[in-house]
Structure 1
Amino acid sequence: MATKIVKQVARVITAHRQREGGGFIVRRPLPSGGLEHADPFLMLDHLGPVYYGPGEAVGAPDHPHRGFETVTYMLEGGMEHRDSHGNRGELKPGWVQWMTAGSGVIHSEMPTDELLKNGGNFHGFQIWVNLPAKDKMIRPRYQDVPPEDIPWFESEDGRTRIKVIAGQVEGVVANIDTHTPIYFLDLRTSGKYSLDIPAGMDAMVYNYHPAPILVGQDRTRLAEGQLAIVNAHGHAVDLEAADSEQEARVLVLAGTPIREKIARHGPFVMNTEQELLQAFNDVHSGRFGEIPGSSERARKTTEANERRRNAGRE
């Protein structure tokens, strides 16, 4: 009897482009295509890849967040973050920052001085992860993790390597602490690998690389910039390079759904409209604090956008 093929890919979404922050272009597959969120994930932004000439790099000057977590993963280039609690640091290639905004923070995400001065390639991701109601007003927290502290899994045939940013793969466990069970994997393969997804979790697979990949038992083809919503149904998810001569590279995200009402607007994600209104009031009254040097960051952003326009790199 032939093996029954389980249809795992529920839909495929092609990322749309839009301008964010201080003027940079992102590819955004979530929310997109009528899909507002994929509980507990609220947003996935693909930053670049883009080349900036000297003086052209832009970021996201001072802005507030409350009620969720932002996850930034850099592949090329770099960002400097500062916040209203006095934290400061640099994210370089391979680094991950898991910021729990919680009760509220104002932060900035600007290009590093080196990238702004000399120019160069910039490539990375930012993901928003919801917090359950009980955790929305916890104290903000940063987890800045350098690449040497992020473990890799390698398959027996050596054709699949997985960077385990959150969750675990065959005993390789991430070093990041999350409020809800989350899998965040950077999977690279020139062969085929069957990835176990825990019961109760569905998954998303986002192809960020030119090489196509086949997803699920039904072998749905995913091109660069496409996101597959995968209903795992307790089965392993097959991920196979469409061309064994090209390494496919994808992000895999999976999480336990929170299943709570969401009220969101701009930089705030709460459970009720009243909580949203309170967040806006708290920002306007100065309760989130501020970061010294905001006018200087705004000036750098304006000048970088002007240089990029003059160079025809819009």
Structure 2
Amino acid sequence: MSNTDLIIEERSRDIGDFLVGRILPFRKKRMVGPFIYFDHMGPKEFGSNERMDIGPHPHIGLSTLTYLLEGKIVHRDSLGTEQTIKPGAVNWMTAGSGIVHSERSPKDPVEKINRMHGLQIWVALPLEHEEIEPSFHHIEANQLPTWKGKNLDFKLIAGKAFGKESPVPVYSDLFLMEVHTNEESEINLVDKVRGEVAIYVLEGGVKACDQIIPKGNVLVSKKPNECGFIVEKGSHILIFGGEPFEEERHIYWNFVASSKDKIEAAKERWKNHKFSKISGDDGYVPLPEDR
């Protein structure tokens, strides 16, 4: 579940080899590979009495990936996990058959966070793993592969790309990379990744099909694994995607599933308080229809 003050939304439009649009999901492209939700949090400035406070809420049928650029979040879940995530690290929570978690600012006044900025990403699980037992993994920033290209700095957050593999335990063929540029540079992904490709511009701009795509837009390549583009000087981008699923995925609130029946069952479980609870936290975020 997100706590976002800014999601930059652009109407999906055709510019040749690319579709340009908002962060996932957007109308003309609901998923890119297994990525079904891509939420840009902030940047958010917290006042003296403000803090991030997302109470216990459920998920099924997906893995969540939290990646911070600034700030700290304390994750707690129904497995008994309590983990503080810091910039550059990855929290990877697999909901499978069902999990409950909360996301809050640190309680210690010394840990007062004045600014929050990051990404909340949902990756749908493949059919054979859709109802696996839930799990949680935390990967420190120094465990993620990094490398340099000409005027480019790469970090592989999850999946496989450029012959490298992230330690994040994913369940499908995907990739998520962070790239910084100090000079205008070309990036060619041919034979470097597999499946569908999307580029999200966090800062700066990307040149594709004779157009400049500015900050806050996502580009989705029409030709899987045949993508080349130019990144402007001083840009910060994320490249993500992978092999798409054969089956459709449905999404309702925090639930993702290959069938609407599974989502309806999860809604009833949550309304009837049948999900596992977070020890010591009696909070409850109701279904949207119950608000």
The Cα offsets for residues 173-200 of structure 1, whole Å up to 9 and x where unpaired, read as 3122211011100011123132325575
> How far 1:239 sits from its partner (Å)?
3.3
More helix by share: 1
Equivalent of residue 103 in structure 1, options 94, 97, 108: 97
**How many residue pairs were aligned?**
269
Is 2:156 the partner of 1:164? yes
**Could you tell me the percent identity over the aligned residues?**
26
User: What is the SS of the residue equivalent to 1:294?
Assistant: coil
The Cα offsets for residues 204-259 of structure 1, whole Å up to 9 and x where unpaired, read as 111111x22224xx243211111111124442422321xx3xx1011111111012
Equivalent of residue 283 in structure 1, options 253, 270, 273: 270
The structure-2 alpha-carbon separation of the partners of 1:66 and 1:115, relative to structure 1 and needing over 3 Å to count, comes to farther
Equivalence for 2:218: 227
Equivalent of residue 183 in structure 1, options 172, 175, 179: 175
Q: 1:98-247 to 2 correspondence within 5 Å?
A: 98-114=92-108, 118-155=112-149, 157=150, 159-189=151-181, 190-198=183-191, 201-209=195-203, 211-215=204-208, 218-241=209-232, 244=233, 247=234
Give me the whole-angstrom Cα distance separating, in 2, the residues matched to 1:200 and 1:144: 25
> How far 1:292 sits from its partner (Å)?
3.4
Q: Is 1:192–1:240's contact at 8 Å kept on the other side of the alignment?
A: yes
Give me the whole-angstrom Cα distance separating, in 2, the residues matched to 1:262 and 1:169: 25
Equivalence for 1:12: 20
User: What is the SS of the residue equivalent to 1:30?
Assistant: coil
Q: Is 1:39–1:259's contact at 8 Å kept on the other side of the alignment?
A: no
Give me the whole-angstrom Cα distance separating, in 1, the residues matched to 2:110 and 2:268: 34
> How far 1:50 sits from its partner (Å)?
1.6
- 111-120 or 267-276, which deviates more: 111-120
> How far 1:264 sits from its partner (Å)?
2.4
Q: 1:50-129 to 2 correspondence within 5 Å?
A: 50-114=44-108, 118-129=112-123
- Residue type of the alignment partner of 2:189: D
- 199-208 or 177-186, which deviates more: 199-208
- 108-117 or 226-235, which deviates more: 108-117
- Residue type of the alignment partner of 1:41: F
- Residue type of the alignment partner of 2:211: T
Bigger-Rg structure (1/2): 1
Structure 1 unaligned regions, length at least 5:
1-5, 16-28, 299-314
Equivalent of residue 257 in structure 1, options 225, 232, 244: 244
User: What is the SS of the residue equivalent to 1:276?
Assistant: helix
TM-score normalised per structure 2: 0.84
Give me the whole-angstrom Cα distance separating, in 2, the residues matched to 1:238 and 1:60: 38
Moved over 6 A (4+): none
Give me the whole-angstrom Cα distance separating, in 2, the residues matched to 1:47 and 1:116: 23
User: What is the SS of the residue equivalent to 1:167?
Assistant: strand
> How far 1:289 sits from its partner (Å)?
1.2
Give me the whole-angstrom Cα distance separating, in 2, the residues matched to 1:172 and 1:145: 16
Structure 2 unaligned regions, length at least 5:
1-14, 286-291
Q: Is 2:79–2:135's contact at 8 Å kept on the other side of the alignment?
A: no
The structure-2 alpha-carbon separation of the partners of 1:115 and 1:172, relative to structure 1 and needing over 3 Å to count, comes to farther
